[in-house]
């Protein structure tokens, strides 16, 4: 087992989750400063508070390291005034931040830095293959870059075959063959080979073949594509707070242990007391690994959901998420186990089980590695180390507390929107950090509540905190 000392992050999602302990945690801590609204707020620096969540809409897409949700690649004269414009408008209307390229606006032979950045920083690329697509060297260069991002990053490519078939695209026949007759007179073999390889790879991907969907009207088809994009964005990227401190080394440590190219089925356990950000670390790993798998599933609050709705509900979610369809009701746990074994054994999947409390949860959801396809990875978070005392778990990673400097930095991110306190609040900040014992959940909640408040509020809050011993704070937060 690996022990990660001085773990210094916390997640807004974990702190504010629907589980009973998290909800009570936030409420209990808020009670320490419940009178703060009656006292004037202090003047704050002009910089914005930087803590926000990564989501699907354009207002939040950048917080995950991506500038766009979708990159559209198309041949302007072929589709700009038709399906491309309709799709672009529909994506924007759905709150999906979309970059629309137009090959007619390109200058020069190479992809410019702005366009290159747009492709690299998009979660999904949608090339719209038309009869003239392969005649555009810019479209082909974009496609090569998309394929690179698919391999090196976690980008998904969702092709639309507008007035050509997938076979024409991947085998370079028809108008695509004519295009390469022209290209071979102007470009060297290395460039031609890259273009052909990219067309072959993307031509083999699952997408929309418009010619074979003649019964659907264009509006209905575009709506279907938008809904599929929304589903992919929700599935592949989990919400993670931006208020992170030193997370990189923990991610790197786990990445060193998880062999990305392994055909083995790997089960990873992350454990530690509640509120120490096990869920946050697991989500980051999930987001980084998701592009390697056919299908992914995130099941939150396993402990609570199993108590309220039964383990059958969790089995149902696993099947629906992986198989991408509404599965019939699971009659009992044994029925669920049988169905999971039969339906998922050939699929390479990524599964995140959050807050597993008992081995019975694992037995019912992931059982033995042979239930899943080769190369699958299962990430489990738990407060109970006994859950991981089974031979199927490859390794465990323990998260333990934070040191003072890291605690102060985390607190300041929430209280001031930066890594260090305002000079006049330095002593207050130091004392608050000391009284919480470096507990991430307490630091986040109290820091957020003190954001913008006057010194009087800080003084009252500090006095209340000093009356509560560290262990009692943990008990009140219900995260021991």
Question: Is residue 122 within 8 Å of residue 67, measured between CB atoms?
Answer: yes
State how far the alpha carbon of 19 is from the alpha carbons of 12, 25, 53, in Å.
Answer: 13, 10, 19
Question: How does 307-317 read in b/e, with b if 16+ C-beta sit within 10 Å?
Answer: eeebbbbbbbb
DSSP string, 94-111: TTB-EEE--GGG--SSSP
For residue 267, the cross-strand partners are 378
Distance CA 146, CA 314 (A): 35
Distance CA 451, CA 447 (A): 6
Catalytic residue among 142, 312, 398, 444: 142
Distance CA 419, CA 232 (A): 34
Q: Which residues contact 77 (CB under 8 A, 6 or more apart)?
A: 104, 132
With tokens 């399906």, the residue in question is: 83
Cα maximum dimension of the chain: 81
Strands (E), 339-389: 349-353, 377-382
- Report helix, strand or coil for 280: helix
For residue 421, the cross-strand partners are none
- 207 conformational bin, left if phi > 0, alpha if psi -120 to 50, beta if neither: beta
- Report helix, strand or coil for 299: strand
Q: Is the dihedral of CA 287, 293, 294, 298 positive or negative?
A: negative
**Any catalytic annotation for residue 142?**
yes
Q: What is the CA radius of gyration of the chain?
A: 26
Give the strand pairing for 156-157 and 98-100. unpaired
Other beta carbons within 10 Å of 45:
10
- Report helix, strand or coil for 210: helix
Distance CA 407, CA 275 (A): 14
Question: Is residue 370 within 8 Å of residue 310, measured between CB atoms?
Answer: no
Distance CA 346, CA 193 (A): 33
Give me the active site residues, please: 142
């Amino acid at each position: 087992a690996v022990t990660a000392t001085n773990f210094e992050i916390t997640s807004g999602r974990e702190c504010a989750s629907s589980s009973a302990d998290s909800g009570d945690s936030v409420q209990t801590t808020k009670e320490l400063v419940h009178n703060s609204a009656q006292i004037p707020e202090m003047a704050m620096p002009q910089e914005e508070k930087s803590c926000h969540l990564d989501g699907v809409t354009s207002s939040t897409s950048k917080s995950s390291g991506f500038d766009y949700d979708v990159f559209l690649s198309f041949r302007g004269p072929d589709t700009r005034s038709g399906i491309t414009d309709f799709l672009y408008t529909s994506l924007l209307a759905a709150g999906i931040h979309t970059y629309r390229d137009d090959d007619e606006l390109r200058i020069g032979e190479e992809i410019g830095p702005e366009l290159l950045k747009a492709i690299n920083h998009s979660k999904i690329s949608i090339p719209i293959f038309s009869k003239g697509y392969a005649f555009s060297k810019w479209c082909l260069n974009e496609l090569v870059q998309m394929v690179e991002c698919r391999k090196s990053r976690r980008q998904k490519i969702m092709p639309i075959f507008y007035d050509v078939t997938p076979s024409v695209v991947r085998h370079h026949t028809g108008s695509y063959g004519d295009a390469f007759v022209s290209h071979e007179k102007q470009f060297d073999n290395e460039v031609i080979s890259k273009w052909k390889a990219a067309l072959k790879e993307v031509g083999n991907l699952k997408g929309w073949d418009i010619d074979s969907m003649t019964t659907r009207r264009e509006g209905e088809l575009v709506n279907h594509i938008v809904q599929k994009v929304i589903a992919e964005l929700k599935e592949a990227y989990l919400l993670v707070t931006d208020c992170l401190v030193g997370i990189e080394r923990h991610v790197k440590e786990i990445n060193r242990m998880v062999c990305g190219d392994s055909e083995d089925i790997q089960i990873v356990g992350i454990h530690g007391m509640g509120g120490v950000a096990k869920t946050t670390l697991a989500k980051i790993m999930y987001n980084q690994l998701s592009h390697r798998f056919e299908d992914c599933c995130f099941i939150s609050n396993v402990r609570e959901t199993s108590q309220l709705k039964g383990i059958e509900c969790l089995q149902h979610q696993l099947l629906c998420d992986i198989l991408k369809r509404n599965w019939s009701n699971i009659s009992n746990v044994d029925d669920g186990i049988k169905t999971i074994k039969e339906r998922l054994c050939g699929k390479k999947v990524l599964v995140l089980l959050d807050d597993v409390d008992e081995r019975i949860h694992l037995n019912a959801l992931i059982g033995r590695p042979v239930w899943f396809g080769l190369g699958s990875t299962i990430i489990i978070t738990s407060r109970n180390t006994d859950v991981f005392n089974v031979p199927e778990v490859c390794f465990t990673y323990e998260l333990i507390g934070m040191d003072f400097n890291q605690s102060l930095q985390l607190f300041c991110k929430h209280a001031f929107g930066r890594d260090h306190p305002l000079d006049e609040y330095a002593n207050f900040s130091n004392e608050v950090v000391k009284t919480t014992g470096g507990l991430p959940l307490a630091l986040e909640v109290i820091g957020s509540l003190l954001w913008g408040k006057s010194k009087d509020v800080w003084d009252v809050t500090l006095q209340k905190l000093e009356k509560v011993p560290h262990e009692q704070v943990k008990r009140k937060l219900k995260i021991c």
